[in-house]
Structure 1
Amino acid sequence: MHDVLVVGGGNAALCAALMAREAGASVLVLESSPREWRGGNSQHTRNLRCMHDEPQDVLVDAYPEEEFWQDLLKVTGGATDEKLARLVIRASSTCRPWMRKHGVRFQPSLAGTLHLSRTNAFFMGGGKALVNAYYRSAENLCVDVRYDSPVDRLELDDRRFVAAYCGGERIEARACVLACGGFESNREWLREAWGQNERGEWPADNFLIRGTRFNQGVLLRHMMDQGADIIGDPTQAHCVAIDARAPLYDGGIVTRVDAVSLGIMVNREAKRFYDEGEDFWPKRYAIWGRLVALQPGQIAYCIIDSQAIGRFMPPVFPGVRANTPAELSGALGLDVPTFVRTLEDYNAACRVGSFDHTVLDDCHTEGLSPPKTHWARPIVKPPFYGYALRPGITFTYLGLKTDEHARVHFGGAPSDNLFVAGEMMAGNVLGQGYTAGVGMSIGTAFGRIAGTRAAAAALENVAHAAA
């Protein structure tokens, strides 16, 4: 029997496994995916949001706790547990030396990476390199890892973990960490959560899954049925507007189109529906998936002109290109007169001051609804480009309620040997919204806490048994 069983194979799970092993516990990791797809959504990440009070290696200037907290408070609209959020923020300032010890390397942010050089530390080689580094370290530390091993249920005894079931196999351990993600790749659960809208559409049918295909939410549903305390709205998620041509699963970060704040967004009816210049893109990019999900047909179109080219990371797919607005709208399948009028109204409303995409500039619209509050300048310079976008779900926020010790709760009472980390509990911090890199901050903080606590619980169990 292992001391600690870790269910999942992404960043949070690996942080838990490594911390538990460092604390002297024997560890088994059960990853549902094949080896080549290991790592869950972590393989698609590229950075970690970090608090720091002064410049630190790849991070410039300072990003103090209060600013990080205010950024999080703004994007969540207050739907966050401040105690747990501040725990994550403080942990983000001290985790990188430990990450380096386990083979993770960092690099300065690249040109065009959303002004994150002050707030986010980038992984050299991206999330796949981070995942591989952790697996190498786990192997060196004699952590046992099994692939193609989805856990579908747990055996519990009055809140205590006893065993996990992987198909017909029963696997005992002295403590357990659940870190196997949300339910974003479970289409039926997404349909159930989102339901049918007033237009008779099932919005979830048009969602693309930006993250892993293996997060089916089977164990999350099981825990709900077992009476575990739950937190979060099932419709809330890290939901990004991504290229409509992206694959159904595992498109990752390259499917995102980062030009929204440089142009306008119109829906299928060729009408604008939200302020494209509300705030810096890293703070607001993850609201656009949900906004698009609420539009007819769950599709929208990002429209820019040649002035925007070179100011954002080039997407993996080229945009539809045209020499006139009328030609562009026709190529996108939009009503030409409506589109041309929308664009003309926007252009006429622009009040251009000193355009600067690196600050909240004074270029805005007047007399237009919805307004564009920053970076508003007429879209007049050919060629023109359009990108069809659909909602891309990265991970869902419905999860297990926890505390500062990462314990799973039942009826308000914590388990003493069952813990949770990562996306499976991110809803405690992210009730809604997102800001770049914070998912990795949450997974790293709570993965490390859960691993440490699980090892302590397991070894205490061993000591009691010996006594």
Structure 2
Amino acid sequence: MVDVLVIGGGNAALCAALVAREAGASVLVLEAAPREWRGGNSAHTRNLRCMHDAPQDVLTDAYPEEEFWEDLLKVTGGITDEKLARLAIRESSRCRDWMRRHGVNFQPSLSGTLHLSRTNAFFMGGGKALMNAYYRSAEALGVRIRYNAPVERLELENGEFRAAWVGKERFAARACVMAAGGFESNREWLREAWGQNADGEWPADNFAIRGTRFNRGVLLKFMIDAGADSIGDPSQSHCVAVDARAPQYDGGICTRIDCVSLGIVVNRNAERFYDEGEDFWPKRYAIWGRLVAQQPGQIGFSVIDAKANGRFMPPVFPGETASTLEELARKLGIDEATFVRTVRAYNAACRIGTFDHTVLDDCHTEGVVPAKTHWALPIDKPPFRGYALRPGITFTYLGLKVNEASAVHFSGVPSTNLFVAGEMMAGNVLGKGYTAGVGMTIGTAFGRIAGAHAAAAAQKQGVEHAAA
């Protein structure tokens, strides 16, 4: 029997394992994926949103707690637990030195990365390097790791953890941290969550899964069925607009289309359907997957002209290019006349002030619906470019309800030795919406919290057994 069992192999899981081991606990990690695919969705990440009151190495200016909180409040529409959200925010200000001790290096934000030099610390080498550093540190500290070990069920007794099962193999522990991800790779569950639309389509069938194929929500479903308190809407998720040619799994960041705020987006009927300049892209990029999912055929088209060149991070696939709007419409497979009419109406509505993509500028539209609130420039300088879009799910928000110790609850009563971190509880903070890097903030904060409390619970249980 080990002291702490950690189920999962991404950022939250490894943070929990490292903290528990530092506290003196023996730790075993069960990772569903094979070694070459370890790390879950964290391997696809790039940065961590961090509170800081003054410039810090790779972070510029200041990003105080209240501003972080207001940013989160705005994107979630108030669907967040303020106490838990502020706990994650405060933890983000004191985790980076700990991360460095475990081999994580940081770098300044790259040009075109969503204006994040002030708010987000970027990992040197990205999420893959981050996870490799954590695994190296865990192994050096004596954390045992089992790959190809998907947990199907737990043994529970009155809300207390006893053991986990992988096939016919039983793993007992004094305490457990679950960090096994959401259900985004479970197409049947996505279908159930999203249902059918009026045209009889199943929108979820057209979703790309940006991350790991191993997050099928098996443990999450088991826990909900076992009576654990849940939180969140199963249809809400971190859902961005990705290139329609993206692979079904593991497309990651390089398939995301980041030029939306620099042009217009139309559906397959060649009509605009939302304000492309509503707010800064880091605060709005994660609403566009859901917006596209609500369009006919779950398809959209991001259209820009030559003025946008160099102002966004280009995706891995080149877009369709054309010297005329009519040619671009043909290449995108949408109606030429309607598309040209849509673009011309938008162009005529543009009220050009001083364009500045780094601020909420005064370039806007008048007399067209939907309006474009900022960065509205006519699409009139060839070559024109278009990217076909479809929804890309990063992670789902349905999860398990927790307290400040990240303990799982059963009928409102927190377990004394079962904890949860990462995507499996992110819905406590993210009821809807997203802002760049906050998923890693939640995973890092509650992974460390869960690991510390699991180690303490294991120690307490060990003392009690010894006394008995």
Give the TM-score normalised by structure 1: 1.00
The 5 Å alignment of 1:269-348 reads 269-348=269-348
Measured after TM superposition, the shift of residue 38 of structure 1 is 0.2
Q: Find the aligned partners of 1:199 and 1:429 in 2 and give their Cα distance.
A: 34
The residue identity in structure 1 corresponding to 2:426 is A
Moved over 2 A (4+): none
**CA offset at residue 153 of structure 1?**
0.3
| Matching residue of 2:390 | 390
Counterpart of 1:10, as a letter, is G
C-alpha displacement of 1:3: 0.3
- How far the C-alpha of 1:359 sits from its partner, in A, is 0.5
Q: Deviation at 1:97?
A: 0.3
Deviations 1:6-65 (A, max 9, x none): 000000000000000000000000000000000000000000000000001110100000
SS in structure 2 of the partner of residue 250 of structure 1: coil
Instruction: Say which SS state the counterpart of residue 227 (structure 2) adopts.
Output: coil
| 1:358 matched residue in structure 2 | 358
CA deviation after TM superposition for structure 1 residue 314, in Å: 1.2
Matched ranges for 1:150-299 at <5 A: 150-299=150-299
CA distance in 1, matches of 2:268, 2:3: 55
Q: 1:111 Cα deviation (Å)?
A: 1.1
Secondary structure of the 2:250 match is: coil
Inter-partner Cα distance in structure 1 for 2:377 and 2:451: 51
CA positional deviation for 1:440: 0.2
| Alignment correspondent of 1:20 | 20
Q: Distance in 2 between matches of 1:113 and 1:294?
A: 27
Q: Which residue of 1 aligns with 2:416?
A: 416
CA distance in 1, matches of 2:260, 2:115: 15
- Which residue of structure 1 lines up, in the alignment, with residue 96 of structure 2? 96
Alpha-carbon distance in 1 for matches of 2:331, 2:136: 49
- Count of aligned pairs between the two proteins: 467
SS of residue paired to 1:330: helix
AA at the equivalent of 1:88? A
- Shift in Å, 1:122: 0.3
CA distance in 2 between partners of 1:449 and 1:164 (Å): 21
CA distance in structure 2 between the aligned counterparts of 1:305 and 1:315, rounded to whole angstroms: 16
Match for 1:424: what amino acid? M
Q: In the alignment, residue 70 of structure 1 is paired with which amino acid?
A: E
Following the alignment from structure 2 to structure 1, what is the Cα–Cα distance between the partners of residues 56 and 310?
Answer: 29
Q: How far apart in 2 are the matches of 1:287 and 1:280?
A: 12
Q: Secondary structure at the match of 1:423?
A: helix
Q: For residue 368 of structure 1, what is the aligned residue in structure 2?
A: 368
Match of 2:449 in 1: 449
Instruction: Quote the Cα distance in structure 1 between the aligned partners of 2:122 and 2:364.
Output: 32
1:304 maps to a residue whose letter is I
SS at match of 2:13: helix
For residue 230 of structure 1, report the CA deviation from its aligned partner: 0.3
Give me the whole-angstrom Cα distance separating, in 1, the residues matched to 2:77 and 2:319: 33
Q: Deviations over 1:262-317 (max 9, x none)?
A: 00000010000000000000010000000000000000000000110110011100
- Paired residue for 2:145? 145
Quote the offset at 1:113 in angstroms: 1.0
Aligned Cα root-mean-square deviation (Å): 0.4
State the secondary structure of the residue aligned to 2:282. helix
Shift in Å, 1:168: 1.0
CA distance in 1, matches of 2:246, 2:62: 36
- 2: CA distance, partners of 1:219 / 1:113: 34
Counterpart-to-counterpart distance in 2, 1:180 and 1:51: 26
SS of residue paired to 2:200 = coil
Per-residue displacement from partner, 1:404-460 (whole Å, max 9, x unpaired)?
A: 000000000010000000010000000000000000000000000000000000011
Q: 5+ unaligned residues in a row in structure 2: which ranges?
A: none
Give the deviation of 1:112 after TM superposition: 1.1
Residue 70 of structure 1 corresponds to 70
What corresponds to 1:430 in structure 2?
430
SS of the residue 1:83 aligns to: helix
**Residue identity matched to 1:296:** P
Task: Tell me how far apart the structure 1 counterparts of residues 104 and 9 of structure 2 sit (CA, whole Å).
Answer: 16
For residue 99 of structure 1, report the CA deviation from its aligned partner.
0.2
In structure 1, C-alpha distance between the alignment counterparts of 2:355 and 2:465, rounded to whole Å:
69
Aligned to 1:439: 439
Q: C-alpha deviations, 1:152-206, integer Å up to 9, x for none? A: 0000000000000001111100000000000000000000110001111100000
State the identity as a percent.
78
Match of 1:52 in 2: 52
Letter in 2 for 1:210: R
Residues in 1 aligned to 2:258 and 2:376: alpha-carbon distance in whole angstroms: 16
1:32-47 matched pairs, under 5 angstroms: 32-47=32-47
Residue 436 of structure 1: SS of its match in structure 2? coil
Q: CA deviation at 1:211?
A: 1.0
- Give distance in 2, aligned partners of 1:266 and 1:47: 30
Distance in 2, matches of 1:332 and 1:446, equals 44
| SS of structure 2 residue aligned to 1:161 | strand
Which SS does the other structure have where 2:297 is aligned?
helix
One-letter identity of the residue aligned with 1:348: A
**CA–CA distance in 1 between the matches of 2:398 and 2:318?**
34
Shift of 1:76: 0.3
Counterpart AA for 2:414? P
How far the C-alpha of 1:378 sits from its partner, in A, is 0.3
Which residue number in structure 2 is paired with residue 123 of structure 1?
A: 123
Structure 2: distance between partners of 1:306 and 1:399: 43
Q: CA deviation at 1:318?
A: 0.3
Q: Which residue of 2 aligns with 1:107?
A: 107
Match of 2:368, SS state, is: coil
d(CA) in 2 for partners of 1:236 and 1:36? Answer: 30
How far, CA to CA, are the matches of 1:325 and 1:37 in structure 2? 43
SS in 2 for 1:175: strand
Give, as a single letter, the amino acid of the residue that structure 2 aligns with 1:87: L
Q: Distance in 2 between the 1:229 and 1:304 partners? A: 46
* Cα-to-partner distance string for 1:370-418 (whole Å, 9 max, x where unaligned): 0000000100000000000000000000000001000000000010000
- Give a deviation string over 1:199-253, Cα, whole Å, max 9, x none: 1110000000001100000000000110000000000000000000000000000
TM-score using structure 2 length: 1.00
SS at match of 2:329: helix
